[in-house]
């Protein structure tokens, strides 16, 4: 399904051409490809190699539909209801806003969702908690990209963490760290994500205010 | 300095051969290479593309020496003082433990340190705070690997966050999310990180207890 040879993409090229993909087709993703992607994910960092994580693969339509509703609540609260303000501020481009809006309204159409979960720390107040899973999530999204599969890291469902925990049968002390919808892109391309100039965000030795 | 052509490494190969590298030489890292690595880092995910981050590059010997002392305190507290217990539990291999111990005692020798910093959320209680920076940190470590430079994501200095904040001249509401020492490897190889079998950590639709 990928137009490219997965082995033909260089590491550096991959790092520079894996934007969030928010227009995803409903075309199925094979179990074999998914397994290869997850096998790349778990090679990411885990503090003390503890691997206190679980990777929940969701394809069930009813489960996706319920969580997508919660996601849309989160979208409406954080973005949808502030549409004019966000677009006026320039913090998101109109194209990015529309793509995120599209995802919110079509989330359940993505054929596969992955929830990366940490086991144990539901009550943690450690701001660096994610250091033991988001590197692996990035590996997942990069491996997907090598196979022509798009994804994006989302957390807008999180106000309903208890509901998600129940649907996924997670223990009380587990926490879902993200929802990553996966799908073959229906629109857009593997372009380099636009970012602020490096000189605005990189500092030598000491931070300083920059206008 | 890299034995390999940076462009010759495939994405999938890179994802499977970037372990934490903890034996790092003092050989300098050029500004140009470092810039290329940071430019790959910032292509990682940032929630709403807000990029409320700063990347502090530290080479100053005095600063490194002070923070390395704090790091060793953290190492001793979490690992060093529990050496026998950790090795007996099998949660870390003896080789990994020795490598981490080596890093703790030679941290300041790594020629370049990078602190990825989030601006604003020092008092955040959001457990998913790291979703807006650790993916970029993974991109940094993968880009470094493409250039033959080793790294590891560390947080053991974190009990001294206030001291680090002062040394780096960070505003009160900023938080360092990691310390990433970078250096050409002095020992070891680009092997695939050992992980638990996929069938122990991947679940279809719902989590279940597995022995």
pLDDT of residue A1: 40
CB contact under 8 A, A196 and B145: no
d(CA B104, CA B91) in angstroms, rounded, equals: 18
In a domain, B170, yes or no: yes
Å between B107 CA and nearest CA of chain A:
17
Contacts with A149 from chain B: Cβ below 8 Å: none
* Distance set, CA B149 to CA A49, A169, B36, B142, B185 (Å): 21, 41, 12, 9, 7
Question: Residues with Cβ < 8 Å from A9, sequence gap 6 or more?
Answer: A145, A146, B10, B11, B12
Average pLDDT of the segment spanning A15-22:
98
Tell me, yes or no, if the pTM score tops 0.90.
yes
pLDDT of residue B210: 81
Of chain A, the percentage scoring pLDDT greater than 90 comes to 88
d(CA B161, CA B118) in angstroms, rounded, equals: 13
pLDDT at B2 over 80: no
pLDDT at B15 over 90: yes
CB contact under 8 A, B43 and A15: yes
In a domain, B209, yes or no: no
pLDDT at B108 over 90: yes
Q: State the pLDDT confidence band at B121, using cuts at 50, 70 and 90.
A: confident
Q: Tens of pLDDT along A59-74? A: 999 999 999 999 999 9
In a domain, A31, yes or no: yes
Q: Tens of pLDDT along A100-146? A: 999 999 999 999 999 999 999 888 889 999 999 999 999 999 999 99
Å between A185 CA and nearest CA of chain B:
18
A123 shares contact with chain B (CB less than 8 Å): no
CATH number of the domain where residue B92 is located: 3.40.109.10
- Diameter of chain A measured on Cα atoms: 52
In a domain, A210, yes or no: no
Burial class (CB in 10 A: 0-12, 13-18, 19+), A198: middle
CA proximity to A176, closest of A192, A162, A189, A195: A162
In a domain, B5, yes or no: no
pLDDT of residue B4: 60
pLDDT at A12 over 70: yes
Å between A162 CA and nearest CA of chain B:
14
CB contact under 8 A, A56 and B206: yes
Among candidates A16, A141, A169 on the partner chain, residue whose Cβ is nearest the Cβ of B208? A169
Please state, as a whole number, how many other Cβ atoms lie within 10 Å of the Cβ of residue A17. Answer: 16
Scan residues 36-55 of A and list those with Cβ closer than 8 Å to B: 38-40, 42-51, 53-55
3-state secondary structure of A183: strand
What is the complex's ipTM, to 2 decimals?
0.96
Å between A158 CA and nearest CA of chain B:
9
pLDDT of residue A134: 98
B11 shares contact with chain A (CB less than 8 Å): yes
pLDDT of residue A4: 60
DSSP summary character for residue A192: P
In a domain, B112, yes or no: yes
- Could you give phi then psi for residue B154, rounded to 5 degrees? -125, 150
The H or E element that residue A100 is part of is helix A94-106
Q: Radius of gyration of chain B from Cα atoms?
A: 18
Contacts with B128 from chain A: Cβ below 8 Å: 130, 155, 158, 177-178
Range of the domain at A168: 6-201
CB contact under 8 A, A51 and B203: no
B88 shares contact with chain A (CB less than 8 Å): no
Contacts with B206 from chain A: Cβ below 8 Å: 56, 168-169
What is the per-residue DSSP string for B80-145?
GGGHHHHHHHTSS-HHHHHHHHHHHHHGGGSSEEEEEEEES-TT---TTGGGGTHHHHHHHHHHHH
Q: State the pLDDT confidence band at B211, using cuts at 50, 70 and 90.
A: low
CB contact under 8 A, A206 and B168: yes
In a domain, A61, yes or no: yes
Number of domains in chain A: 1
CA proximity to B135, closest of A114, A154, A13, A35: A154
pLDDT of residue A3: 47
- Could you give phi then psi for residue A76, rounded to 5 degrees? -60, -45
In a domain, A110, yes or no: yes
Q: State the pLDDT confidence band at B186, using cuts at 50, 70 and 90.
A: very high
């Amino acid at each position: 399904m990928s137009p490219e040879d997965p082995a033909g993409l260089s590491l550096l090229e991959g790092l520079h051409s894996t934007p969030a993909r928010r227009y995803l087709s409903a075309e199925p993703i094979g179990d074999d490809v998914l397994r290869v992607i997850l096998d790349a994910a778990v090679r990411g960092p885990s503090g003390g190699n503890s691997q206190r994580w679980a990777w929940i693969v969701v394809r069930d339509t009813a489960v996706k539909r319920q969580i997508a509703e919660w996601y849309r609540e989160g979208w409406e609260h954080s973005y949808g209801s502030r549409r004019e303000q966000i677009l006026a501020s320039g913090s998101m481009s109109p194209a990015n806003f529309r793509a995120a809006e599209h995802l919110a309204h079509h989330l359940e159409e993505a054929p596969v969702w992955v929830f990366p979960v940490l086991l144990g720390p539901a009550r943690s107040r450690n701001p660096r908690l994610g250091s033991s899973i988001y590197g692996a999530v990035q590996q997942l999204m990069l491996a997907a990209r090598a196979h022509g599969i798009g994804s994006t890291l989302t957390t807008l469902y999180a106000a309903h963490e208890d509901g998600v925990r129940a649907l996924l049968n997670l223990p009380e002390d587990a926490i879902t760290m993200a929802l990553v919808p996966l799908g073959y892109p229906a629109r857009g391309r593997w372009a380099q994500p636009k970012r602020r100039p490096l000189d605005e965000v990189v500092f030598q030795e000491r931070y300083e205010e920059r206008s």
